[in-house]
Amino acid sequence: MKNTFKTILLLVSAAVLVTACDGQGDSLINARLDENPLPDPVSGSSGDADFSKYVSIGNSLTAGYMDGALYTLGQSNSIPALLAGQFAYTVDGDYTFNQPDINSVNGFNTTVTNPALSTVFGRYKLDTSIPGPSPTINGDIPAPYSGPALNNFGVPGIQVGQLLTAATGGPDNPANPAYNGLYARFASDPGNSTILGDAIAAQPTFFTLWIGNNDVLGYAVSGASNSAILTSDADFNTYFGSTVSSLMTNTSADGVVIDIPFFLGLAYFQAVRWNNITLDANTAAAINSGMESINGAIQGCANVGVAQSDIDQRLVSYSEGNNPILVIDEELDDLGTCFDALLAANAIDGTARAQLVPYEQSRPLTQGELVLLSAGAVLGTEADGDATTADTPIGVVVPLGFNMSDASLNGDRYYLSLAEQQEIENKRITFNTIIAGAVSANSDRLALYNTSPFGGPTNPCTSGIFCDLFGLSDGVPGITYQGVSLEPDFSPNGVLSTDGIHPNPRGNAIIANEIIKVIEDKWGSDIPMVNLINLPSVTLCGTGDCLSEQ
């Protein structure tokens, strides 16, 4: 009873204290608010634009594809989704932006070949022990979309012509190269509807259009080895013009058109150096000793009419430190006839002739040539499949792009020569000229985001975020953005996802902000910028679901 009485006294005392201090508490709170005011609510203004029904049209960059897959986190941080989040501040009431949600943590990796699907590979993660990207082993095959009406019509992998053809939605058979399953899963009428038609049917009040990258990027990613996937200038002009004309005629929407960035600065083309073969002095000397007979035979071709300048670019010599990668170059003359002549003249025997087969069209790379990220998985591995002894390392003793099992050549798929880079850049500039012309012809309703202003043959990029990232404007790769130091790669401080091409969420935020600046300049809008500080960059392996961890 005594303890109960004490408890009652304490409660009464507390009540009196709270009542007595109530006025003091208000005063204290007000004083603190004066010293540390609450931030003003975020707001914005649409200016002369109308964002009430925003629609996005494009390819993987629009869809939120990253890390080699379309997956939930990537979609939720797509460029259009980030833009819509900022547009919402300018619109009264509820604001919706619907995407064809994949509903998969790891998604479906479209870059890893696994025809049997015994394991469904998902997004890449970064394995720092390799170091490099590794696919996850618990991906999901995309299911048909059955959600609400869409705002995002981005489809990974498409070229500009596929916006306009019903074949993009089906049928799914080898006779229909236009088919894209990631459109078919959300097409309004697969095999009959078109991506552009579906986007127009949504009746946007504002749109973004980012298309054309794959019309030249796909060719670059193939190592400039498949000219069939390089869109002709005439076709690009027709398809792009028809796309813009349809949007202008069949909607009243304004929009931003984004051109093709300078993509040869991306990690996919920069992460593996042309001189990626690092050797110590003893190893270099041992390889040189083993290559003496190869060099001797190549030099011997001078006796059968091969120019010395041709011979010089083929000779192999290693030293301590960084050395050029040895590659197949199918643009070179085939020395097979020369080697046969040496055999016939008894300058070499049959065994030596057989050993010369990989070197009939081989040479070390030269400075400025670009090696594709795909080469990283095979460089240094054993060409003969024997992992117990380093006697046939690819790119060192056996040329990258030579298949020892059948003597076939695929060297062009792994690197870009200087001439190929110039061809790709010329095509990108031509396409961007077409894009700029279409925007200029409709300048009352369209604005252009010029991602990388061209500075001529010696400087492909003069200003802008992309140029700054690649170090083309100041010679130093990387930028500081919103107080964060960022690199043009897929490191933890990078802006790219682990596929080396597509931005990660932070990279997407930067691009979204650049688009916002274009909108503000054109339509007098006042749109809050996306804050990238809290957005993720790359995800590391370490939870046991990466292929490299198995």
433-485 pLDDT, tens digit each: 999 999 999 999 999 999 987 666 666 777 778 788 888 777 788 999 999 99
Residue 13's pLDDT is 33
| Nearest to 407, CA basis, from 460, 359, 374 | 359
Higher pLDDT, 6 or 318: 318
Chain center to CA of 408: 29
**pLDDT band, residue 36 (cuts 50/70/90):** low
* Peptide bond connecting 144 to the previous residue in cis, omega within 30 degrees of 0: no
Average pLDDT over residues 397-406: 92
What is the amino acid identity at position 191?
G
Q: Where in the chain is the domain with CATH 3.40.50.1110?
A: 54-264+420-549
Residue 116's pLDDT is 63
Structure tokens that stand for 515 in this block: 């688009």
Average pLDDT over residues 409-414: 87
Give CA–CA dist 415/325, Å, rounded: 10
Q: Which residue is associated with the tokens 């990078």? A: 494
Q: Among 301-310, 468-477, 521-530, name the one with the lowest average pLDDT.
A: 468-477
Residue 327's pLDDT is 97
Residue 15's pLDDT is 35
Average pLDDT over residues 214-233: 95
Task: Say whether pLDDT at 49 is over 80.
Answer: yes
Q: Average pLDDT, whole number, for the chain?
A: 90
Q: What is the pTM of this model?
A: 0.89
SS3 state of residue 12: helix
Average pLDDT over residues 511-517: 97
Task: Say whether pLDDT at 307 is over 70.
Answer: yes
Task: Say whether pLDDT at 10 is over 50.
Answer: no
Give CA–CA dist 415/369, Å, rounded: 7
Task: Say whether pLDDT at 423 is over 80.
Answer: yes
What are the backbone angles phi and psi of residue 364, rounded to the nearest 5°?
A: -75, 145
Residue 377's pLDDT is 87
Average pLDDT over residues 294-304: 95
3-state SS record for 235-278? HHHHHHHHHHHHHHHHCCCEEEEECCCCHHHCHHHHCECCCCEE
**pLDDT band, residue 37 (cuts 50/70/90):** low
Task: Say whether pLDDT at 4 is over 50.
Answer: no
Average pLDDT over residues 160-166: 98
Residue 468's pLDDT is 84
Q: Among 99-103, 261-265, 414-418, name the one with the lowest average pLDDT.
A: 261-265
Residue 20's pLDDT is 37
Residue 386's pLDDT is 73
Task: Say whether pLDDT at 9 is over 80.
Answer: no
Task: Say whether pLDDT at 495 is over 80.
Answer: yes
Fold of 54-264+420-549: Rossmann fold (3.40.50)
Average pLDDT over residues 133-147: 94
Residue 130's pLDDT is 85
SS3 state of residue 448: strand
Task: Say whether pLDDT at 17 is over 50.
Answer: no
The DSSP string of 396-424 is: TTB-BTB-TTT--B-GGGGEE-HHHHHHH
The DSSP string of 338-399 is: HHHHHHHTTSS-HHHHHHTGGGTTEEE--TT-EE-GGGGGTTTSBTTS-TTS-SSBBTTTB-
Residue 315's pLDDT is 97
Residue 7's pLDDT is 34
The total number of residues written for the chain in this structure = 550
